[in-house]
Amino acid sequence: ADLQVMRRVGLPIAVANAVAEIRAVADCVTAAPGGHGAVREVAEAMLKARGVWPEMLERYFTERTTRDG
């Protein structure tokens, strides 16, 4: 089932510890294995590609500083 989905999605991504068949059809394979930051790695890469990563960090740290006092 995973293989069919991977072939249909716009950007097939596999985690580092995915089975070989899934990694083979992925356009991107994370450095991190599943459960160890792979989703964060992909989210960060997408935000950087869109050019909004610095703004997101600034907003996060500003809101955190304001909240935590």
Report the percentage of the chain scoring pLDDT > 70.
Answer: 99
Backbone dihedral angles phi then psi of residue 17, each to the nearest 5 degrees: -100, 20
User: Does the pLDDT of residue 69 top 90, yes or no?
Assistant: no
User: Looking at this protein, which amino acid is placed at residue 12?
Assistant: P
The mean pLDDT value for 12-35 works out to 96
What pLDDT score was predicted for residue 37? 98
Q: Quick check: 22 and 7 in contact, CB under 8 A?
A: no
The mean pLDDT value for 57-67 works out to 89
